[in-house]
Amino acid sequence: MTPLLDPLLTAADSALRTLFARPHATRAMPVPSQITGDMNDKERREAGALMRVNHVGEVCAQALYTAQAAVARDPALRAHFIEASHEETDHLAWTRQRMDQLGARASMLNPLWYAGAFGLGLVAGKLGDPWSLGFVAETERQVEAHLDSHLDRLPPSDTASRVIVEQMKFDEARHAAQAVDAGAAELPAPVKAMMRAASRVMTTLAHRI
């Protein structure tokens, strides 16, 4: 296998696994200390929609990290992206499992989300490792804020979804800190604003479709 072909095959394998295979977590899904209470149909639909949005975020995370690993210049940084991708697979599996429990479906636009995020990851990676890390740090900060808002929107009785979101939020904050420690460059304010705008479009559509 040639050095050029290897990352291409890895990227293709990641896309197929993320979009069409059932993910397998390496960590057990977080379990709440309190039993989840009864929810009415409206609360269950809302919780399912929010977990679908979170699942889309993890689909995008797989695409981003895979693309950035493919073009990373530093082998140690490439290994870091791959390791982070593996940890995000836990989130992908947890959100999928919780969607199943709530009777919710995955977003029908997942292939589109994956393709877009993969393209962004390639662009960020091609700009150089510091900017690629900066993109990771800002993405994880925005995801952390997004998860925090979901903790306010989840039905109070849905402790099962809540504990998953809390663990995801903790992991995303750690990923952002690791990116900063590894030498992330601070992204310009207009870039951050564009990322927030794109995120709003994605989360609005994913909530419904």
pLDDT of 3:
53
3-state secondary structure of 16: helix
Task: Give a yes or no: residue 204 inside a domain.
Answer: yes
Q: Could you tell me the CA-to-CA distances from 140 to 16, 104, 179 in Å, in that order? A: 24, 25, 9
Helix extents (H) in 22-158:
41-71, 75-102, 110-126, 129-153
pLDDT of 24:
85
Q: Could you tell me the CA-to-CA distances from 113 to 60, 72, 143 in Å, in that order? A: 6, 22, 15
pLDDT of 8:
64
Amino acid at 184: A
Q: Residue 28 corresponds to which tokens in the numbers above?
A: 């057990």
Structural contact between residues 140 and 176, judged by C-beta atoms closer than 8 angstroms = yes
Task: Give a yes or no: residue 116 inside a domain.
Answer: yes
**DSSP H or E run through 56:** helix 41-71
pLDDT of 1:
46
Task: Give a yes or no: residue 100 inside a domain.
Answer: yes
User: The domain that contains 52 carries what CATH number?
Assistant: 1.20.1260.10
Task: Give a yes or no: residue 33 inside a domain.
Answer: no
Domain membership of residue 107 as a residue range: 41-208
pTM above 0.85, yes or no: yes
Task: Give a yes or no: residue 144 inside a domain.
Answer: yes
Number of domains comprising the chain: 1
Task: Give a yes or no: residue 128 inside a domain.
Answer: yes
Task: Give a yes or no: residue 10 inside a domain.
Answer: no
Tens digits of pLDDT across the chain (209 residues): 445 556 666 666 777 678 777 888 889 999 988 776 789 999 999 999 999 999 999 999 889 888 988 888 888 888 888 888 888 899 999 999 999 999 999 999 999 999 999 998 889 888 888 998 998 899 999 999 999 999 999 999 999 999 999 999 999 999 899 889 988 999 999 999 998 998 899 999 999 88
Give the residue from 59, 149, 39, 162 showing the smallest Cα distance to 102. 39
Q: Residue 47 corresponds to which tokens in the numbers above?
A: 């919780």
Task: Give a yes or no: residue 56 inside a domain.
Answer: yes
